[in-house]
Structure 1
Amino acid sequence: MRFFNTAGPANCEKHYCLSPLDRFDLDEIISLINQEKYFVLHAPRQTGKTTCLLALMDYLNKEGKYKCLYINVESAQGAREDVYRGIRAILNEMGLSERIYLDDPFVNKIWRDVLDKSGEDTALNEILTLWSEDSAKPVVLLIDEIDSLIGDTLISVLRQIRAGYHRRPKLFPQSIILCGVRDIRDYRIHSSREKTIITGGSAFNIKAESLRLGDFTKDEVNILYNQHTKETGQVFESESIDFAWKLTSGQPWLVNALGYEACFKIKEGRDRLKLITKLMIEQAKDNIILRRDTHIDQLMDKLREERVKRVVNPMLQGLDMEHASEDDIQYVLDLGLVCKSPQGLQIANRIYKEVIPRHLTVTTQYNLESRINPLWYIGLDGSIDMEKLLSAFQEFFREHSEHWIERFQYKEAVPQLLLQAFLQRIVNSGGRVEREYGLGRMRTDLLVIWRIQGSGGEQIQRVVIELKILYKSLETTIKEGLSQTAKYMDRCGTSDGHLIIFDRRENITWDEKIFQYTERYKDREIMVWGM
């Protein structure tokens, strides 16, 4: 029985999978190979790059025009800037891969002697020359995880490939594809030998194209999930697949992870007679976030980097980017953490949008566990008493915000993050918080969704909370905020709305900052809070 794949390359005999060769423009790639081009294929981690390269190797070898070999150079990462160890690991991997995939021992027989005689600075170049010369067909080399190489090892590999480029196709590979997370031109490589920074573009100025592997489309998500239905007879509710698409925006690992969690891990989902519901997909999402699977953990670790912070920090605050460079933006795009949209740069999907604030406040959430009991804010009818909760947060923020600021990586976004951590502590016991934030919005919109279990069945409580930092006059900020809050309430279908104004001016006393009253805006009542 097949299953959803969440680790390593997909095997369509074992896993539900889309045709790897349909994931990119195969005609374009074949055209580039025919034209003897060297080019880059890049995409964020766990999007299917390796699966596609292995499928391309099989396709080209079966077609018979070329001899194609896939190698993964990640084993050389441990060598770091020791060029000899790095090149040795790469040549060993090339010999092993040729023997496994092509049943040919040629490289394995010669690479040690070549390395001993030629040295690490030319051995790869010579091996590629001898390998191409020995082959009856033009050769194509697919190099995966190229960006796992570090410093002088990476520089040496790129320069040795460049040095043999003019000898193609008879005495050097007809085409080489370099595959990694980033486009090679965006690399900034530190050379210990030369005591300088070398750009990937200068070390590999023979690159003709840079292709990016995209996320799944909505139709592809449907196709993938329907493979499970065909295999097991278990049906996905249509709204559950739509919900999975909304959560993931087609990010391949997230799509597969939700499917695997809902169908193979959650007890109810393992019963093939039961529908996979939207609620199961939601539970799957929560489980993945709480478990902090490697995919999410690795991505969230990038939030520590200053170049990532320069892009994400203004998003959390709803401000414009002021200090981010073009390279910073491209780096965060390449990581898959953000994406371009008709509305501009934004967090790539709803799961990442939820994970980022939760990751940045995880320690705060643990600290709040000893201070806050969710039961304090649950009414007799099972609903959240939001007025009581926000009043408690108002007091907490007044007493603790100044010294808690130092605990945050993203200090400028402390008001937004601290409130989200406070809310998360409450809703973890039976609800969720949906977040809307981004560049230039000048606000953060939160939707608290709480399940009320009663004798008449389950009911859903929805509460809108809009956060604004005071930049203009208080009157103008409240006026704008009321309009925005009312629109968000209308979109979310709720009559319970709160507008919170954070005043970060140092020359204003807390007594002046703290207030709470109800304002009527058109036909809606909105509670306004000052902090």
Structure 2
Amino acid sequence: MSTRLRTFETRGPVDPTRNYVVPRTEEIADLVQRIKDGRYIVIFAPRQTGKTTFFRWALDALVASDDAYVPIKLNFETCKNLSQEAFYSRLKKTIRKELEKVLLARRHTALQQFLEDYAITCHSSMISFFEQLGDYLKNSRLTIIIDEFDGIHQSVVSDFLHALRDIYLSEEPNRCPYSVGIVGVKSITQLNYDRSISPFNIQDEFALSNFTVSQVRTLLGQYTEEVGQAFAPPVIDNLHKQTAGQPFLVNRIAQILTHDRSETISLAHFESAHQQILNEQNVHFSHLTTNIRRHPRFETLLMDICSYDAGIPFNIRNEFISELVTYGVLKAGSDGFCEIANPIYQYCIVQTFQPLFNGLER
């Protein structure tokens, strides 16, 4: 029976048994150490940069290094329209389900009655819940990762973060939860809808970066080792240059390049694949164009960056620049001016806002 070859994944979490992957070993070690230090961490990065896969691997690495940790995963993606009561009810059910999975695997059943009986109805009762939960867990350290945190309703977010802050600032040596990771597109400061001082100013920010050229080389090297088809050296350098290591773009171009396994992948093959991705429509580009159309000011700002030589100074405190950085559209150039994150995005931005006619035809 032939062994099925792995693939380059662009549609969701990656699995090393099915997909070619970038291990992100150093980044995982960094996050695991922050969890062990008891940090409350904000992990933010644009969509389709591998956040979900990353924190799953980090939790696996955490447990493998020390089984005193009890990791659970929450997801707020579908919570945006929930009332406070419905939100906390759902939160309690999810925590119970996650804890039972972990603790039953460890043959720890003393918590079951407590988890069945306790009701979380607001941020205050959530604090009491975690205090009692800590008594049950004893020397075990609860670690919570919350994915898609942006989905939390604005009427809930402030009190929820205040509650986490109160727990973090408690003097308990083994507080519960011991460490919290908030995963989302936006940073916490951008979730302060009332523009007040952040209730989560104890945060330790962790920005998940794009792939380096070395990581891209590792990713494509796995394919070459498995299949035997090589990439000409300029291909890898050009791929990274055009994508700036953005994970979706790297994997999508790799998909295009490897559909034919008959010869070494040359620069001509890359140029053809590059042209194909520039002219295709996919979910990633739909997200990009949706984000850059969110505010009329974005069009002026982006087209000025694309079209003029004078340059716009990079100022992360500017509301519009900050939001476009969050969406992965802008970055700071080495000269201190704004740059579009990668040449492929720049092409898409110009295509999105460029008029079909420039007026001269009339």
TM over 0.5: yes
The aligned runs of 1:482-501 (5 Å cut-off) are none
Task: Tell me by how many angstroms 1:25 deviates.
Answer: 6.4
The aligned counterpart of 1:152 is 155
The aligned counterpart of 2:124 is 122
2-structure distance, mates of 1:233, 1:21:
25
The aligned counterpart of 2:277 is 288
Task: Tell me by how many angstroms 1:107 deviates.
Answer: 7.5
Going from structure 1 to structure 2, the CA distance change for 1:108 and 1:327 (only over 3 Å counts) comes to: farther
The answer to whether the Cα contact below 8 Å between 1:94 and 1:107 also exists between their aligned partners in 2 is no
AA at the equivalent of 1:142: I
AA at the equivalent of 2:256: E
2:228 counterpart of 1:233: yes
The answer to whether the Cα contact below 8 Å between 1:139 and 1:169 also exists between their aligned partners in 2 is no
The aligned runs of 1:354-433 (5 Å cut-off) are 354-361=347-354, 365=356, 397-400=359-362
Residue of 205, 209, 212 corresponding to 1:210: 205
The answer to whether the Cα contact below 8 Å between 1:4 and 1:257 also exists between their aligned partners in 2 is yes
State the Cα deviation string for residues 393-435 of structure 1 (Å, max 9, x = none): xxx73344xxxxxxxxxxxxxxxxxxxxxxxxxxxxxxxxxxx
Going from structure 1 to structure 2, the CA distance change for 1:107 and 1:258 (only over 3 Å counts) comes to: farther
Task: Tell me by how many angstroms 1:280 deviates.
Answer: 3.0
2-structure distance, mates of 1:92, 1:169:
27
AA at the equivalent of 1:212: A
1-structure distance, mates of 2:353, 2:313:
21
2-structure distance, mates of 1:284, 1:131:
54
The aligned counterpart of 1:374 is none
1-structure distance, mates of 2:162, 2:262:
58
Residue of 238, 245, 253 corresponding to 2:240: 245
2:116 counterpart of 1:98: no
Task: Tell me by how many angstroms 1:4 deviates.
Answer: 0.7
Return 5+ residue gaps in structure 1 as ranges: 190-196, 369-395, 401-531
The answer to whether the Cα contact below 8 Å between 1:95 and 1:107 also exists between their aligned partners in 2 is no
Task: Tell me by how many angstroms 1:31 deviates.
Answer: 4.3
2-structure distance, mates of 1:140, 1:54:
12
2-structure distance, mates of 1:139, 1:3:
35
The answer to whether the Cα contact below 8 Å between 1:73 and 1:90 also exists between their aligned partners in 2 is no
1-structure distance, mates of 2:111, 2:251:
37
The aligned counterpart of 1:51 is 53
CA RMSD of aligned residues (A): 2.8
2:76 match: secondary structure: helix
1-structure distance, mates of 2:110, 2:330:
44
AA at the equivalent of 2:121: G
Q: Output the TM-score relative to the length of structure 2.
A: 0.85
2:46 match: secondary structure: coil
Identity %: 23
Residue of 188, 199, 209 corresponding to 2:192: 188
The aligned counterpart of 2:290 is 301
Deviates more, 1:330-339 or 1:282-291: 282-291
Task: Tell me by how many angstroms 1:222 deviates.
Answer: 0.9
2:360 match: secondary structure: helix
AA at the equivalent of 1:58: D
User: How many residue pairs end up in the alignment?
Assistant: 349
State the Cα deviation string for residues 273-319 of structure 1 (Å, max 9, x = none): 22223333333333334332111111211111225345313213415
Residue of 31, 34, 40 corresponding to 1:32: 34
Q: Output the TM-score relative to the length of structure 1.
A: 0.60
Going from structure 1 to structure 2, the CA distance change for 1:167 and 1:140 (only over 3 Å counts) comes to: farther
Going from structure 1 to structure 2, the CA distance change for 1:285 and 1:124 (only over 3 Å counts) comes to: farther
Task: Tell me by how many angstroms 1:347 deviates.
Answer: 0.3
Work out which of the two has the higher radius of gyration on C-alpha atoms and give 1 or 2.
Answer: 1
Going from structure 1 to structure 2, the CA distance change for 1:292 and 1:130 (only over 3 Å counts) comes to: farther
AA at the equivalent of 1:173: P
2:332 counterpart of 1:340: yes
The aligned runs of 1:67-86 (5 Å cut-off) are 67-80=69-82, 82-86=83-87
Going from structure 1 to structure 2, the CA distance change for 1:131 and 1:42 (only over 3 Å counts) comes to: same
State the Cα deviation string for residues 320-375 of structure 1 (Å, max 9, x = none): 549986232222112110111213220011110111111234xx55xx7xxxxxxx
Higher relative contact order (CA 8 A, sep 6+): 2
The aligned counterpart of 1:5 is 9
2:135 counterpart of 1:143: no
Task: Tell me by how many angstroms 1:21 deviates.
Answer: 3.2
2-structure distance, mates of 1:148, 1:77:
6
Going from structure 1 to structure 2, the CA distance change for 1:122 and 1:71 (only over 3 Å counts) comes to: same
The answer to whether the Cα contact below 8 Å between 1:79 and 1:85 also exists between their aligned partners in 2 is no
2:164 counterpart of 1:161: yes
Going from structure 1 to structure 2, the CA distance change for 1:257 and 1:129 (only over 3 Å counts) comes to: farther
Going from structure 1 to structure 2, the CA distance change for 1:284 and 1:68 (only over 3 Å counts) comes to: farther
